[in-house]
A and B are shown apart, each in its own frame.
Chain A
Amino acid sequence: MATLNMVQAVNLALREEMERDDRVLILGEDVGQDGGVFRVTEGLLDRFGKGRVVDTPLAESAIVGTAIGLSLYGLRPVVEIQFLGFIYAAFDQIFAHAARYRNRSRGRYTCPLVIRAPYGSGIKAPELHEESSEAFFCHMPGIKVVVPSGPHAAKGLLLSAIRDPDPVLFLEPTRLYRLIREEVPEGEYTIPIGKARVARQGDDVTVIAWGSMLERVMKALEPFNAEIIDLLTLSPFDSETVLGSVEKTGRVLIVHEAPRTCGFGAELAATIAEEAMLSLRAPVLRVAGPDVPVPLARLVDYYLPDAARITAAVEELLRY
């Protein structure tokens, strides 16, 4: 079995699925000749040709809108938005159409497409290259939102996303792209959308994270008896795994890098309050990004939740 980083794992998933299913094609800015600015689509143009790996003009709305048309026609487009911070021009297409064709046509027309987008902070890139706006898309009925936390999860989830009958936003944490290497099997394996993973068993506190924050949480909380949940899918999220763990530990910390207000942690906290209130021994806490635009490099270390803030929050919970 090969040891791969996340870039290579996503690449492998794309390659295998394109070999298996000729309905799958790729569109995006710089995805062909250049292999993507992070090299995620490297080699795919040579293997599958210009008809299936399409370098597009610079227009996010057109990329997503075209993917909608392709998917309506029965194809399985996987499009890349170069950075999540540039997806907003396509918001209308996602919200008004991709998310609603099925419902609007009562199932007659559907949009089985995948939008891949590198996202998240911590790579010291220019403005708008480090956004973490996953919550916007969790607020859109009709779209699924998936966030792998490592190479193995990335491949299995991407295969599920491509095969999913509905539109999926697949967010790839840039900080992890080359940070973690894992054994990634070749060939068929999928990780179901909507299922969380217990990344570490524990008893004292439940810590929920996703994407690049999972890696931080795992490291920071080694000395604790914490149960760490890797959410993997934000929409629809796995409430069973979350609530089961909360019932066991009675304490919850949610960690995300997006701004705290209306971040996805708010939905988790509300669900826990509604459905597991009587199991709680402490208030639900969040460690999140502050309610400010993601700063440039000189300030970014103050922005991202770090080990000190994560452990301080866990210690606070344990005092209850």
Chain B
Amino acid sequence: MPTTILETFSVSRLDILNPEGDCDEELLPPLSKEEIVRLYELLVLSRAFDERALSLQREGRIGTYPSIRGQEAAQVGSAYALQPADWIFPSFRETGVHLTMGYPLASLFQYWAGDERGLVCPEGLNILPVSVSVGTHLLHAVGAAMGARYRNESIVMAAYFGDGATSKGDFHEAFNFAGVYRLPVVFICQNNQWAISVPRGRQTAAQTLAQKALAYGFDGIQVDGNDVFAVYRATRDAVDRARGGGGPTFIECFTYRMSHHTTSDDADRYRSREEVEEWKSKDPILRLERFMEKRGLAGEAARREIGQRTRTAIDEAVRAAERMPPPERRDLYRSVYAECTPRLAQAMEGGGNGDA
């Protein structure tokens, strides 16, 4: 008996804006001039926040911090395609997503300074607390999507994670459930080529991450993660499909972690400087600047003004974060249960058999 081919797969990649700032007019998403300048401002804000966070860490004013440098377009472009009512399930390296959705800057500084209160999401937004345990939160996005469908609400869930997370069992379980129930989830992977010291090529033998979705019965696409238009467009399409009942989509944003894994890491131990240099020319902000120059959008003066506005916002946020009164001892106990257990209540008052 001959073998018959049951399925064939192809994996596509979307590129719109190249590093020189030239773009594919047909693929360019329909964004107004103001929206393009807004995207630019969000990219600049994300980078400036990141730089400030790194210097605060060096000064001992915040704790361990994971830089997003190089990944700004993947974060801003994807979050910009979401509605404020959509829910976001982030990992720990999503500052640009937070900023795009309007999460308070001061709260982010507060969180990275080791204060849980910085994770209290303001009313009107649904950004879940960052998931430090890699990949585990994808399932929560799937469950929330099931909830939204149950209630007939057209809310889309966006789950963010890295290339390393695709190795976790939870990733596969989440994809499987989302596929089986055709749930309104957009899985957004920032393939920044590294999971601490492990390169993408050692994380999976598959040629792309995007293709993993195909095995679970839904679409996966790779996009240039340093191209804010490509990321935005792919996410828009995925969000529209999810909202329209078309089920989940997986977007692999092909990008690069320009900095160390976190401020506790030393990337020189495991990757070459040349590799990092090479990615510098693919910078997501530079290429949008070039694009805007060619289109006569936001000239030098306007860009200077954006830079100034950004710095002011960050200065104010740092001041506000550092002016917040420190958490009190009693805060240890307050949020463990809806109602303090008798033992916790006793410990909170400083009593109890030697408890803090």
Q: A residues bordering B, Cβ < 8 Å?
A: 29-30, 32-35, 37, 55-59, 61-62, 85-86, 88-89, 124-129, 260-261, 285-293, 295-300, 302-303, 305, 309, 312-313
Contact = CB atoms under 8 A, between A and B. Distances in A.
Contact of A305 (B113, B132, B168, B356): B356
Best-surrounded residue of A62, A288, A302, A305 (most CB of chain B within 10 A): A302
Nearest to B202: A55
A291 B354 contact: no
A127 B132 contact: yes
B62 to A, nearest CB: 9
A312 B132 CA distance: 36
21 contacts: A30-B196, A33-B197, A33-B269, A55-B197, A55-B198, A58-B134, A58-B167, A58-B203, A62-B169, A88-B133, A125-B264, A128-B133, A285-B353, A287-B354, A288-B354, A291-B343, A291-B347, A291-B355, A292-B333, A295-B332, A297-B113
B342 to A, nearest CB: 11
B148 interface: no
A298 B326 contact: yes
B114 A260 contact: no
A293 B336 contact: yes
> What are the 5 A-B residue pairs with the smallest beta carbon separation, nearest first?
A297-B114, A34-B197, A57-B167, A58-B164, A296-B114
B186 interface: no
B164 to A, nearest CB: 4
B152 to A, nearest CB: 34
Contacts of A29: 195-196, 198
A126 B64 contact: yes
B63 A302 contact: no
B43 interface: no
B270 interface: yes
Interface string B310-334: 0000000000000000110101110
Given A292-B344, A300-B114, 5 more contacts: A29-B196, A37-B196, A58-B135, A58-B198, A128-B132
B224 to A, nearest CB: 24
A54 to B, nearest CB: 10
Interface in B88-134: 92, 113-116, 132-134
Given A85-B133, A297-B114, A298-B113, A288 B332 contact: no
B165 interface: yes
Best-surrounded residue of A29, A261, A296, A297 (most CB of chain B within 10 A): A296
Contacts of B327: 298-299
Interface in B240-299: 264-265, 269-270
A114 to B, nearest CB: 22
A34 B341 CA distance: 44
B320 to A, nearest CB: 16
Contacts, number: 126
B354 A286 contact: yes
Contacts of A285: 353-354
Interface of B: 63-64, 92, 113-116, 132-136, 164-165, 167-170, 195-198, 202-204, 264-265, 269-270, 326-327, 329, 331-333, 336, 341, 343-344, 347, 353-356
B344 to A, nearest CB: 6
A126 B355 contact: no
B72 to A, nearest CB: 22
A299 B167 contact: no
B133 A61 contact: no
Nearest to B111: A296
A286 B353 contact: yes
A313 B134 contact: no
A194 to B, nearest CB: 28
Contact of A57 (B92, B198, B326): B198
B167 A59 contact: yes
A30 B198 contact: yes
Nearest to B117: A298
Contacts of A298: 113-115, 326-327
A56 B196 CA distance: 12
Contacts of A128: 132-133
Contacts of A35: 269
A299 B332 contact: yes
B85 to A, nearest CB: 27
A313 B352 CA distance: 12
B354 A309 contact: yes
Contacts of B116: 295-296, 299
Contacts of A124: 63-64, 114
Nearest to A124: B63
A129 B167 CA distance: 20
Contact of B356 (A126, A286, A289): A289
B202 A57 contact: yes
A37 B264 contact: yes
A37 B264 CA distance: 9
Contacts of A30: 196-198
Contacts of B343: 261, 291
A57 B203 contact: yes
Contacts of A85: 133
Nearest to A294: B332
A287 B168 CA distance: 37
Nearest to B163: A58
Nearest to A92: B169
Contact of B170 (A89, A127, A290, A313): A89
Contacts of A129: 132
Nearest to B334: A292
A289 B269 CA distance: 37
Nearest to A297: B114
Contact of B336 (A89, A287, A292): A292
A120 to B, nearest CB: 16
B64 A89 contact: no
Nearest to B333: A292
Contacts of A37: 196, 264-265
Contact of B168 (A32, A55, A59): A59
A279 B81 CA distance: 70
Contacts of A287: 354
Nearest to A128: B132
